[in-house]
Amino acid sequence: MDYTLKCTRCTKEYGPQSTAFRCKLCKSVLEVSYDYSTLELNAGFRNEVPSSQKYVQFLPLSTPLRTLEEGSTELKAVDTEELLGDGSVKLHLKIETENPTRTFKDRGTAVEITKAMELGFSDVCCASTGNMGLSIAKYSRHFGLSSTIFISKDANTEKLRKIEEQGAKLEKVDGDFNDSLVLAEEFARYNQNFLCGDYHYRKEGQKSLIFEMLDQLGYQVPDYLFVQVGNATLLSAIYKGLKEYKKAGLIKKVPRLIAVQSES
């Protein structure tokens, strides 16, 4: 589909070739905004076998997705008679630890790495608390890009070791995630790096989680969807994916989304 990058606050639009990761006027985050009149879905789209390439028409890409076979994770039915004492409730769990680096982050990373390569970048960077950094390090190495990960020096040492093992340059930050974020954005700007992280392209990649679930449920939209949240970027990606499928006529309703966050 044709698309622009649209500011989520002041609605200024940028072309698909723009490398901006924030609005140049108001510094807010951007979002990929599609022109649905350019969508050309096969009549049998819903029956096509789910795969990472199946959903490319809902992605802002002009080349095939660079994939490490992320996605296609199990949707596991839970025995609700045993768990809740009410077998009439249907409950499913999406097992995202089946992804290459064991988190949903790989879905977004595949799109970011593909986009970085389409735009001609050979270096990427990001701020991370661990999981995203590992995912970006692994995909970068596989597809021949160099990666620099900004991470708090107090991060879990096992995570730091795994990221380094993937050949990434580690920048240990004397501060928290927000300090890492500021440094990564500056580094990207001054070193012509493609900035990975919770920006518009990652959000697009994470939509595949809900697209896949709908395939696995035979397009029967669940009543409720529970999503664990930190910054709620996955929840926001799922909501965007649902709205887009509704616009494309693939589903008629959107489930009620429930965000679940740890108390502390």
Q: Which of 207, 155, 68 has the alpha carbon at shortest distance from 164? A: 155
10 binds Zn ion (CB under 5 A): yes
By CB under 5 A, which span of 24-32, 54-62, 115-123, 214-222 interacts with Zn ion?
24-32
Judged by CB under 5 A, the stretch of 9-17, 112-120, 173-181, 250-258 that binds Zn ion is 9-17
8 binds Zn ion (CB under 5 A): no
Does the footprint of Zn ion cover residue 168 (CB under 5 A)?
A: no
- The first and second tokens of residue 219, run together, are 């397009």
The three-class DSSP label of residue 171 is: strand
Rule CB under 5 A: is residue 23 a binding residue for Zn ion?
A: yes
Position among 5, 7, 111, 238 found at the interface with Zn ion (CB under 5 A): 7
Residue 30 binding Zn ion, by CB under 5 A? no
Indicate the Cα dihedral angle 106, 111, 112, 113, nearest 10°. Answer: 90
CA distances from 126 to 6, 51, 116, 147, 227 (A): 22, 27, 13, 8, 24
Contact between 26 and Zn ion (CB under 5 A)? yes
- Residue 199, SS3 per DSSP: coil
Min. distance of Cβ 13 from Zn ion in angstroms? 10
What tokens were used for 204?
């697009």
Shortest distance (Å) from residue 10 CB to Zn ion:
3
Chain contacts with Zn ion (rule: CB under 5 A) = 7, 9-10, 12, 23, 25-26, 28
